[in-house]
Amino acid sequence: MKSVSNCFAKVKKNCFKFIKSQETSTNKFKNKGRMLKSYLIPLCFWISKKTIKKKPLIIGVSGGQGTGKTTITSIISLILRKYFKLNVFKISIDDFYKTRNERKILSITKHPLFMTRGVPGTHDHKIIFNFFKKVKSKNFKSIKLPKFDKSTDDRYKSKFWHKIKSKPDIVILEGWCVGARAQNSSKIKKPINSLEKVKDPNLIWRKFVNTQLKTNYKKIFKHLDEIIYLKSSSFKLLQEWRVIQEKRLWLNSRKKKRLKIMNKGDVINFMQTYQRITQNMFKDAPKYASIIFKLDSKHQVNSAIYKKK
C-alpha cells in the first residue's frame, strides 16, 4: 500500500492535468483519486512486473465503445513512463482503419456496409501484423504507423503519423474489438438488429466479418501477451456513452472542414454494426482476459478481477 501511495504522490499532478483536458463542462470525471489508487496504479505495478527488457510486453485494452479505453490507456501509459521509467508506445486499432477510398472499394466488391469503418475487415490487418513482427525483432529499426482522423473519417497525411524511434518496453493496443473471437457459423444466421435484417439479409457482411476474426485477426491477437477488458453492464449504456464521445469529438474538431461528426440517430445506427461482436465479447472476453474492470452506470470502475496464469 505504501508503494501505491508513493506512486500516487509522484503521478497525481500529471494524471489530474490529463484528466482535466478530457473533461467538458457537462461531463466531469469523478473520484479521480480513488480510480488511480484503487485500480490504475495497482494495474501499473502488475504490468511492470510482467515487463522483460529483452522484448516488449504487448497488451490489449478492450471494451465497448465509450468505455474509456483511450483515457485509461493514456493514464496508465503516463504512470508507467513517469514512475516506472518504462518506454511505452500506445496506439488505437482505429488508427489502422483502411482509407475511405479503400473502404469504398471494399463496399463495392464485398458489401455496401464495409463503407462504414469499425468491424473486422475495415482495418489494414497487414500493417498491424507487420508492426508486431517488427517491434519484436532483435534488429529493431524505427517504425512509422498510420493515424486516423475520425472527424473526417479518413487517415491523416503521413507527416502526422506515429513514429517509433526506439524499441518500446511496452506496447498497448486499445480498441473495441481487440481480442474478439469469431462466433460459431450457426450463431450468425439470426439477425440481432434491424441493420442486419434489412442491410444484410443474405449474411454476406456477417460471414465476411466472422471469417476475418477466424483468420487475420486471430493471427494479430495471438501477439497479445495480456488483455485488459473494460466491461459495461449493457449495450444501451454503451450507446449513451458513445453519444457523449461524439459530442466531445465535435467540440475538439469544429474548426476543421469536411467534418463527419454524427448526431444521436447516426450514432445509434452506426453502433448496430458493432452490436454483434460487442455483445459476444460481453460473454466471452471475461473468460480469456487477464484483467476485467467492471464499470457502473456512471462510468466508474467499481471492481477489478485479476486472473491467475
Q: What does the pLDDT look like over 261-282, one tens digit per residue? A: 456 666 677 788 989 999 999 9
Instruction: Find out whether 15 and 32 touch, Cβ atoms under 8 Å.
Output: yes
The closest alpha carbon to 174, from 65, 50, 278, belongs to: 65
Per-residue CA distances from 157 to 104, 105, 145, 149 (Å) = 19, 20, 11, 10
C-alpha 138, offset from chain centre: 27
As a whole number, the mean pLDDT across the chain is 89
Provide the whole-model pTM: 0.90
Supply the pLDDT for residue 10: 96
Beta-bridged to residue 173, according to DSSP, are: 60, 91
Supply the pLDDT for residue 57: 97
Which strand (E) or helix (H) includes residue 7? Answer: helix 2-22
Give me the amino acid identity at 173.
L
Q: pLDDT-derived band of residue 124, with 50, 70 and 90 as boundaries?
A: very high
Fold of the CATH domain 2-306: Rossmann fold (3.40.50)
